[in-house]
Amino acid sequence: MTERTRLFAANWKMNLEAAQVDQYLARFTAGLRESASNGIELAFYPSAIWLERLLRELTQVSSAGRSIFIGGQDLHPESAGAHTGDLSGEQLVSAGCTSVLCGHSERRQDHGEDDQLVAAKTEAALRVGLLPVVCVGESLEQREGGQTKDVLQRQVSTILETVLRTTETQQLPPIVIAYEPIWAIGTGRTATPDLAQDAHAAIRELIRTAAGVEAARATRLLYGGSVKPGNCEELIAEEDVDGFLIGGASLDPDSFLDIISRCG
């Protein structure tokens, strides 16, 4: 039995308009009030323009046994300045956010984010006390070329080394790593439970090597890639899967609630 609190995170990406957000929140908060799931954590990453709405509505249904992180889908490594269109960790915190996504594969692809930049963003999140959910994962080409473990090693080690270098105690601060094989994101193709477990175990071993047994034991590893009510239970049954980062299925409040109640 794992002592890590399960985390179910919704990545809305560039979806939902004002009225849809209001409908979603009305349905989700009603469903969550009726839900028996307890001892879990939830997270929402909406478009930045909706953060205030989510902070207002979801804070009311957040409780000790079911706390809810709300955060940005990205942040700039600097705290302020001439970076049109970007958001800083300081701004997110001052708006009331508690978490942030770093290095989602869509940002790595669309905006050319490399491992160093993702590590700098992770560091910036930690600097202001945001819980970073850092995304890693291989492309289809890399998987088929047998490079998955090398890719994970490069991505995870860069983040851990950067974070540990700036931590005075040399202890890994709270950070969440989301394993998201790119070929499984938004494609309907989910990793098999064995394959997800294999990657998660490799990531946990990388954490152990870099930061020690306690950090490896405590750090939560999420799986992401076409998670839905029909496949979530077999994935969460794996020892090193501590929750999910969910795109498509999180856009429907009922299917997100369904996943939470099946796995929470």
Residues of this chain that bind ligand PEP (CB under 6 A) = 11, 13, 180, 185-186, 224-227, 245-249
What Rg value do the Cα atoms of the chain yield, rounded? 17
Q: Specify the residue, 47 or 167, whose C-beta has the smaller distance to ligand PEP.
A: 47
Bridge partners of 171, per DSSP, are: none
Q: How far is the CB of 171 from ligand PEP (least distance, A)?
A: 28
Q: Is the dihedral of CA 249, 251, 255, 260 positive or negative?
A: positive
Residue 76 appears among annotated catalytic residues? no
Name the strand (E) or helix (H) holding 261.
helix 253-263
Q: Specify the residue, 197 or 226, whose C-beta has the smaller distance to ligand PEP.
A: 226
Q: Specify the residue, 211 or 258, whose C-beta has the smaller distance to ligand PEP.
A: 258
Q: Specify the residue, 153 or 231, whose C-beta has the smaller distance to ligand PEP.
A: 231
3-state secondary structure (DSSP) of residue 100: strand
Q: Do residues 155 and 194 touch, judged by C-beta distance below 8 A?
A: no
Q: Which of 104, 106, 113, 238 is catalytic?
A: 104
Percentage helix, strand, coil for the chain under 3-state DSSP, each rounded to 5: 50, 15, 35
Q: Which of 41, 113, 138, 180 is catalytic?
A: 180
Q: How far is the CB of 169 from ligand PEP (least distance, A)?
A: 31
Bridge partners of 6, per DSSP, are: 40
Residue 83 appears among annotated catalytic residues? no
Q: How far is the CB of 190 from ligand PEP (least distance, A)?
A: 8
Q: How far is the CB of 223 from ligand PEP (least distance, A)?
A: 9
Cite the beta strand spans of the chain per DSSP E: 6-11, 40-45, 66-72, 99-102, 131-136, 176-179, 220-223, 243-246
Q: Specify the residue, 180 or 240, whose C-beta has the smaller distance to ligand PEP.
A: 180
Q: How far is the CB of 80 from ligand PEP (least distance, A)?
A: 28
Q: Do residues 98 and 69 touch, judged by C-beta distance below 8 A?
A: yes
Nearest to 185 by CA among 87, 123, 105, 100: 105
Q: Specify the residue, 152 or 215, whose C-beta has the smaller distance to ligand PEP.
A: 152
Burial class (CB in 10 A: 0-12, 13-18, 19+), 166: exposed
What is the pairing mode between strands 243-246 and 131-136?
unpaired
Alpha carbon distance 91, 74 (integer Å): 12
Q: How far is the CB of 12 from ligand PEP (least distance, A)?
A: 9
Residues with active-site annotation: 104, 180
